Amino acid sequence: MFARITNMPKTQLPIQLQDWFSSKGWAIRDYQAHMLNQARENRSTLLVAPTGAGKTLSGFLPTLCELIEAPMQGLHTLYISPLKALTHDIQRNLLAPIEAMGVDISVETRTGDTPSHKRQRQRKKPPNILLTTPESLMLLLSYADAKHMFRHLRTVIIDEAHSLAANKRGDFTTLAMARLSALKPDYRRVGLSATVAEAEVLAAWLGPSGEPVDVHRVANVVKPKVKLMRTTADIPYGGHMATYAVADIYREISQAKTSLVFVNTRAQAELIFQSLWEINEQGLPIAIYHGALAKDQRHKVENMMGQGLIRSVVCTSALELGIDWGNVDLVLQVGAPKGVARLLQRIGRSNHTLDEPSEALLVPGNRFEALEALSAIDAIEHNQMDHEPYHEGALDIIPQFIMNCAIAGPVAPEDIYQQVLLATPYGGLERDTFMQLWRFTIDGGYALSHYDRYHRLEKREDGLFEPASKRVTLRHRQNIGTIVEAGRLKVKRLRRAHTGKIIGEIEEYFAQQLVPGDTFLFAGECLIFDTIKDMCVEAYPGKGKEPKIPSFVGGQMPLSSFLADAVRLLLAEPHRWVDLPLQVREWLDLQAEFSAIPQLGKIMIEHFPYRQAQYTLIYTFEGRKANQALGMLITKRMEKLKLQPLSFSINDYGLSICSLKVIDKAQMLSLFHPDILGDELADWMLSSPMLKRSFRHVAMVSGLTEQNHHATRKTMKQVTFSTDLIYDTLREHDPDHILLKVTQRDAERELLDLQRLTDLLIRYVGKIDFIELPKVSPMAIPIVLNVRAEIIKGSGREALLEHATLYDEAESMLAEVREMLANASL
Amino acid sequence: MTPNHLERLVNENIASIFRFANKIWLADGLGALYLPEIHLLVVSDLHFGKGSFLKQHGHPLPTYDTIATVELIEKLLERYQPITVLCLGDSFHDVRVGERLSNAEAMAIRAMIKQVQQWIWVLGNHDPDIPAGFAGDQVSTWEYEDIVFTHEPVTDLDPASYQIMGHFHPKLTHSIKRQQMTGKCFIASMHELIMPSLGVYTGGLPVDDPVFEEVFTTSANQTVLCYQEKAFLLHLNK
């Protein structure tokens, strides 16, 4: 944690801390001293440092000093982490020095796993240091005694701030901090972040509106050593699982002392883990770790890792944030790295000290991913970083925030509005929009609402608002947060009939496609599905021929736009291809020969028949927002031209459209014509599955509906109904409703606006290379294999169904009816 | 309903024509059933007042569902000009809907009933009573020749007779050329026909749910998928 430096800089550390440092042979680093000075001046600070720099303890050092110098009762420091697991890890790391120093400082965690009696006690008698998550903090703020609990608060530490800032959960966190400021105005904010491209944006995010915190950067002294993994196996054209490389991965694991094998999805974790054990001749202790495993399972792995009993862990992003696992000397990234910052974070898990280079190997899942991997390696070599664009705060969280405040005590809208403005992402929120969200929170705020007798908040005689019932309060507390997940079922590993251990969770839709006897991979073993009982999937361990792999909807990560650009450059610069594996170069040569390589300043379009339909691949390299908007525009025009589009899918490089009809060059050029469809396109977008998806999320976060944890009672399923139906009804009957606005704004995070879309099309004029092919091109394979297609409702699907319709007897039946009706009218 | 009009509905896939219980029926893409022989329109599981039912539990839901469902039925009345309309149960979401309906909603429902000669409410598990003030006969089941119209399946029936029911809200996912189309559906065996739900706030139960096997005395052999407001008579994917 702390560096072994002999000439210790002069700082006024309390004697206990000095002794402890000396006993370890450690000295405090410059930036740790800096953090102490900042704290003495009560200045909020963002510390940006590479992984392995001992950031987290730097954040706590001022707290430890203050608590040693002036012991106190009550809450001094609140630590917020994006991961539950991180809070437990930090607790261990803090308790060690506290016990060694023999000082009286209490440290506790509070997460969804904390038992309720302990949670109650924590509110009455909080520890000095409380380690928690954004959701648990918001929940704490919903109690009437919050002001009392936080009355001594001095410091709030936000760990891994970079991972929170660019998303809804980050918006949510800033609102919680704004609320804390209303309860206890002068606390200090400390942000801890891995290296980011634009620290100033993060500093603004961390501070109250208009008051960015100070930034302190720690330079990255040693560059990590990152290479493509050497392999003689055939790298596949498509797919992301990378099972082809398992023998090589095993070789690397067996040569390293301790390694982490990062994969991109939970399904991939299961598959790679299983494949490794199939060839584990040396019987190496290899474990698996991902977020769907039960707490016990994860703790077991964490403990064994801590004791050095494990050689390698196959893990997902659940492990990439700051958990300290000691002596990892190799990181393998299996599958595309997706982003430079993310890759660096993962790589930083190895050689967890500042002075030695981390070592990492990249294992691309397919040949296209080899391009991404090489681009990422080049970016690291040249100190380039991707960064997330700044965005305005998500509006669906506001109703949740209003409820949260009202539950803690009666509120007036103006007070809450002022608090919301204190959070940087909401600094520009118009009063009018806030009031619409306020009215939504009260009773739905519908224009034609003839039925608003039932309110969530009711006005008291003094003009303040309070929850209408206990049920409202309870439901709000059960649904706090911004993470909307698919329905989950617990997995029970059976020993005997109906008795066994819960080993984790799988998504409901996966569970429902299982029939008794089916096998699936979970928690690193093959299970035979038996039944679903009491919200549990019951399964026996056993062997199966082709076990299924549970997939998780939330599993896919988009590539950073920075990396997409880097890949486009790499393609345009063939002299750099020498660093690619031979097979990948051969694949590119084949592509050049069969079709073409996308060129800078050109839009390459491939069109070919594939799997009983026609595919159009448009290589834009413009990023997902542009590709999504373009997909909607082009399919809309295809629908108009009766080309019968069926679906489209976007990826980081372009988009792929599936249609029934063949498209010729003239038609293709007309699809890109830069005239605007205006309202027509707006309407098409509003009815798209993407907007409905956004609405589903908005509906749950804003409290319109709740995450249905009971949908698993199958026979009741017809009673629940999808938010799509509400969306359609609302659009038709109340088109100006605030939630529709919120949905649109939400979707705009994933979508280019019309003006920029038009600009894009104008730039494309005269630059389109249309290539008709007899079959799928080598480069297109990984893209068309992507199953996440956006369905287009319209003539294409209708044509498919019409074709399948049983018309045989229709004529004779019609004749019969005609005759019958004629006789009846006689 | 002229024969030409009927033919147009079938040719444009607005309705599918099919045989059941030795009669010819039209399954409309909106989810209604029509028997030309006696100009009978059957709708099922309207769930009037479901939005306001849920709203009273603190969900700030829009309650436009009742009006939207009435509008659907108006469209069907216009399309088929039936002499008799049969609502196959669960027309009202709960017994207290009457107290929650707005004047506009109650008037819209009354105006809808008034348009046809005969209006029949088959009672369902959600609506053992029809709220006061609405015309129409209330029956537990309704019979036409050897066909029983009922909300939930009748078990002690003459095996030679037929039954048409609601209650289950069947929905279907059909795959063609690797594309999936999902919608509510009609599903029938030799002797049983299950109608889709018409209410706009009603969800569906996939037809592969074991519940359906229990209802059918022989295995299901016909299905009409309602997709994009059109109707498609399909073989069942197995």
Q: Residues A286-311: what's their mean pLDDT?
A: 85
Determine contact, residues B105/B46, Cβ cutoff 8 Å.
no
Chain A / chain B CB contacts < 8 angstroms = 175
Reported pTM: 0.86
Distance CA A112, CA A134 (A): 11
More confident residue, A588 or A717: A588
The per-residue pLDDT for range A555-568, each reduced to its tens digit, is 455 667 778 888 88
Contacts of A804 in chain B (CB under 8 A): 174, 176, 232, 234-235
Among B25, B61, B81, B201, pick the best mutation site for testing chain A contact (most A Cβ within 10 A): B61
Q: Residues A524-553: what's their mean pLDDT?
A: 79
Q: Do B52 and A451 touch (CB under 8 A)?
A: yes
Distance CA A122, CA A108 (A): 9
- Give the CATH number for residue B152: 3.60.21
The per-residue pLDDT for range B119-147, each reduced to its tens digit, is 999 999 888 889 999 999 999 999 999 99
Determine contact, residues A794/A645, Cβ cutoff 8 Å.
yes
Q: Do B60 and A802 touch (CB under 8 A)?
A: no
Q: Do A450 and B102 touch (CB under 8 A)?
A: yes
Distance CA A599, CA A607 (A): 17
Q: Do A720 and B203 touch (CB under 8 A)?
A: yes
The per-residue pLDDT for range A464-523, each reduced to its tens digit, is 999 999 988 988 998 888 776 666 778 888 887 778 888 888 877 677 777 788 888 888
The region of weakest confidence among A90-94, A284-288, A589-593 is A90-94
Residue A715 has pLDDT above 50, yes or no: no
> Which pLDDT value is given to residue A678?
66
> Which pLDDT value is given to residue A452?
62
A395 located within any domain: no
Residue B179 has pLDDT above 70, yes or no: yes
- Interstrand relation of B222-227 and B179-188 (parallel, antiparallel or unpaired): antiparallel
Domain count, chain B: 1
A248/A124 same-domain check: no
- Give the CATH number for residue A135: 3.40.50.300
The per-residue pLDDT for range A402-422, each reduced to its tens digit, is 999 999 999 999 999 999 999
A273/A184 same-domain check: no
Chain A touched by B80 (CB under 8 Å): no
Residue A400: phi and psi, rounded to 5, are: -65, -40
Q: Half-sphere exposure (CA, 13 Å, Cβ side) for A711?
A: 21
End-to-end CA distance of chain B: 36
Contacts of A787 in chain B (CB under 8 A): none
In percent, the amount of chain A with pLDDT more than 70 equals 91
Determine contact, residues A596/A726, Cβ cutoff 8 Å.
no
Q: Is B201 left (phi over 0), alpha (psi -120 to 50) or beta?
A: alpha
A104 located within any domain: yes
Nearest residue of B to residue A611, measured between CA atoms: B177
Residue A717 has pLDDT above 60, yes or no: no
A369 located within any domain: yes
The per-residue pLDDT for range A53-74, each reduced to its tens digit, is 678 888 999 999 999 999 999 9
Radius of gyration of chain B (CA): 17
> Which pLDDT value is given to residue A2?
46
A177/A272 same-domain check: no
Contacts of B57 in chain A (CB under 8 A): 454, 471
Cβ contacts of B206 within 8 Å, gap of 6 or more: B170, B171, B172, B173
The region of weakest confidence among A38-52, A244-258, A620-634, B10-24 is A620-634
Task: State which of A354, A381, A408 marks the end of a domain.
Answer: A381
> Which pLDDT value is given to residue A8?
44
Residue of B24, B179, B180 with shortest CB distance to A816: B24
Q: Residues A755-766: what's their mean pLDDT?
A: 84
Cβ contacts of A228 within 8 Å, gap of 6 or more: A361, A362, A363, A364, A370, A373, A374, A377, A579, A580, A581
A213/A251 same-domain check: no
More confident residue, A94 or A720: A94
End-to-end CA distance of chain A: 98
In the block, tokens 């629940």 appear at A720
> Which pLDDT value is given to residue A489?
78
Chain A touched by B102 (CB under 8 Å): yes
In percent, the amount of chain B with pLDDT more than 70 equals 99
A206/A243 same-domain check: no
Residue of B60, B177, B228 with shortest CB distance to A443: B60
More confident residue, A611 or A509: A611
Distance CA A333, CA A310 (A): 18
Minimal Cα–Cα distance from B24 to chain A, Å? 7
When the pLDDT of each residue in chain B is averaged and rounded to a whole number, the result is 93
Q: Residues B24-36: what's their mean pLDDT?
A: 97
Element (H, E) at A810: helix A810-825
Residue A423 has pLDDT above 50, yes or no: yes
Q: Do B201 and A729 touch (CB under 8 A)?
A: yes
Confidence grade of residue A679 (pLDDT, cut at 50, 70, 90) = low
Q: What is the dihedral of CA A64, A65, A70, A74, to 10 degrees?
A: -20
Contacts of B65 in chain A (CB under 8 A): 729
Residue burial A57-67, b: 16+ Cβ < 10 Å; e: rest: bbbbbbbbbbb
A293/A153 same-domain check: no
Determine contact, residues A267/A255, Cβ cutoff 8 Å.
no
Contacts of B82 in chain A (CB under 8 A): none
Among A728, A816, A817, pick the best mutation site for testing chain B contact (most B Cβ within 10 A): A817
A213/A243 same-domain check: no
> Which pLDDT value is given to residue A719?
42
Chain A touched by B151 (CB under 8 Å): no
Contacts of A442 in chain B (CB under 8 A): 60
Among A721, A784, A807, A819, pick the best mutation site for testing chain B contact (most B Cβ within 10 A): A721
Nearest residue of A to residue B184, measured between CA atoms: A718
Residue of B6, B174, B203 with shortest CB distance to A717: B203
Q: How many CB atoms lie within 10 A of CB A462?
A: 7
Helix (H, G, I), strand (E, B) or coil at B110: helix
A270/A337 same-domain check: yes
A611 alpha carbon, distance to own chain's centre: 32
Distance CA A689, CA A277 (A): 40
Radius of gyration of chain A (CA): 29
In the block, tokens 């899942």 appear at A365
Q: Which residues span the domain enclosing B88?
A: 3-234
Q: Which residues span the domain enclosing A538?
A: 488-551
Q: Do A450 and B179 touch (CB under 8 A)?
A: no
A195/A338 same-domain check: no
Contacts of A726 in chain B (CB under 8 A): 61-62, 201
> Which pLDDT value is given to residue A787?
60
In the block, tokens 């026996």 appear at A540
A294/A342 same-domain check: yes
Determine contact, residues A590/A577, Cβ cutoff 8 Å.
no
Residue of B24, B58, B62 with shortest CB distance to A446: B62
Nearest residue of A to residue B205, measured between CA atoms: A718
Determine contact, residues B1/B14, Cβ cutoff 8 Å.
no
Task: State which of A322, A351, A381 marks the end of a domain.
Answer: A381
> Which pLDDT value is given to residue B231?
96
Residue burial B56-72, b: 16+ Cβ < 10 Å; e: rest: eebbbbbbbbbbbbbbb
Q: Measuring CA to CA, which residue among A148, A168, A159 is closest to residue A46? A: A159
Domain count, chain A: 3
A213/A289 same-domain check: no
Read off the tokens for B142. Answer: 């309704």
In the block, tokens 């498509």 appear at A238
Distance CA A620, CA A752 (A): 14
Distance CA A796, CA A636 (A): 12
> Which pLDDT value is given to residue A89?
79
pLDDT winner (highest mean) among A708-717, A729-738, B24-33: B24-33
Q: Residues A629-638: what's their mean pLDDT?
A: 89
The region of weakest confidence among A493-497, A618-622, B13-17 is A493-497
Read off the tokens for A241. Answer: 């699982």
Distance CA B51, CA B48 (A): 8
A170/A255 same-domain check: no
The per-residue pLDDT for range B68-115, each reduced to its tens digit, is 999 999 999 999 999 999 999 999 999 999 999 999 999 999 999 999
A372 located within any domain: yes
In the block, tokens 């509110």 appear at A123
Task: State which of A381, A416, A433 marks the end of a domain.
Answer: A381
Nearest residue of B to residue A809, measured between CA atoms: B18
Distance CA A375, CA B196 (A): 53
Residue A6 has pLDDT above 50, yes or no: no
